[in-house]
Amino acid sequence: MTPFHLVGKTILVTGATGGIGRQTAITASQMGAEVIVTGRSEAKLSAVLAELAPGNHSAVPADLVHEQNRDEFVAKLPPLDGIAHCAGVTLLHPFKFSDEKRYREVYAINVEAPLFLTQRLFKTRRLKNGGSIVFIASLGAFIGARGHSIYAGSKAALVGIARVLAHELSGNAIRANCISPGMVKTEVVDGFANQVSAEVVAADEARYPLGYGLPEDVASTVVFYLSPASRWITGTNLIMDGGLT
């Protein structure tokens, strides 16, 4: 059998009600995984569940901010072969107007949630030996785009965290990697267009040799990192940006 499959694997996808997470759940199910989807919106989770390829999938709603929520959430999960951390928020806000409240809100979901959710899963033995952890960071961590000071910092944190986890969890053959996409056509891009204008977004996309990405582009790469095909890859960060950088 091809090593690119997820047959027999149980995969948790956070942010599964969002653009990248939803498609990651769909692609993982198409590659044979049993998928557990999570997000805050129960209605959206039900809709995603209906889109998955046939299989024994489930939805477990949770707000992943706050330790108690995460502990209650983890207690409902079976042992996992992989985690795709797709939950997160994007903030475009000039540095001189940034404030600590926004900083804490962004870091709570972009950094604390994936870090301490992973820790809880590991400590309760719900992350099997040989498992794979994928964090969705961002190109923003690398290019210094205006307005991204808080967001870029939160995503750079994930890159550092993944490298350390790759080291510390290697004794259990658990891998940790990051994917750092440029602009991907989800509601995030719609929000960007509302903040600036459709013309500014079109001009930005024109800078990408291959245009903005699609959720499918990121999802296929997440599945690769979750699959046995990437069993010798850990501690890496993959920039996906249609050639921009």
Ligand X SMILES: NC(=O)c1ccc[n+]([C@@H]2O[C@H](COP(=O)([O-])OP(=O)(O)OC[C@H]3O[C@@H](n4cnc5c(N)ncnc54)[C@H](OP(=O)(O)O)[C@@H]3O)[C@@H](O)[C@H]2O)c1
Decide if residue 71 touches ligand X (CB under 6 A).
Answer: no
Judged by DSSP in three states, 39 sits in coil
The residue from 136, 141, 166, 219 that contacts ligand X (CB under 6 A) is 136
The residue from 87, 127, 150, 162 that contacts ligand X (CB under 6 A) is 87
Decide if residue 181 touches ligand X (CB under 6 A).
Answer: yes
Decide if residue 91 touches ligand X (CB under 6 A).
Answer: no
Count of beta carbons in the 10 Å neighbourhood of residue 206: 9
Q: Please say whether the beta carbons of 52 and 6 come within 8 A.
A: no
Closer CB to ligand X, 109 or 223, in the complex: 109
- What letter does residue 6 receive in the DSSP assignment? -
Decide if residue 152 touches ligand X (CB under 6 A).
Answer: no
Decide if residue 221 touches ligand X (CB under 6 A).
Answer: no
Decide if residue 106 touches ligand X (CB under 6 A).
Answer: no
Q: How far apart are CA 7 and CA 31, in angstroms?
A: 7
Decide if residue 238 touches ligand X (CB under 6 A).
Answer: no
Q: Shortest CA distance to 12 belongs to which of 35, 30, 40, 46?
A: 35
Decide if residue 20 touches ligand X (CB under 6 A).
Answer: yes
Contact region with ligand X (CB under 6 A), list: 3-11, 49-57, 141-149, 182-190: 182-190
Judged by DSSP in three states, 153 sits in helix
The residue from 63, 205, 216, 217 that contacts ligand X (CB under 6 A) is 63
Strands 34-37 and 237-240, sheet pairing: unpaired
Decide if residue 89 touches ligand X (CB under 6 A).
Answer: yes
Closer CB to ligand X, 20 or 35, in the complex: 20
Burial of 63 (0-12, 13-18, 19+ CB in 10 A): middle
- Element containing residue 75 per DSSP (H, E): helix 67-75
- Minimum gap (Å) between residue 20 Cβ and ligand X: 4
Decide if residue 114 touches ligand X (CB under 6 A).
Answer: no
Burial of 209 (0-12, 13-18, 19+ CB in 10 A): exposed
Decide if residue 15 touches ligand X (CB under 6 A).
Answer: yes
Residue 100 corresponds to which tokens in the numbers above? 């600590």
Residue 67 corresponds to which tokens in the numbers above? 């330790």
Contact region with ligand X (CB under 6 A), list: 122-130, 176-184, 199-207, 223-231: 176-184
Residues that bind ligand X (CB under 6 A): 15, 17-21, 39-41, 44, 63-65, 86-90, 109, 136, 138, 181, 183-184, 186-189
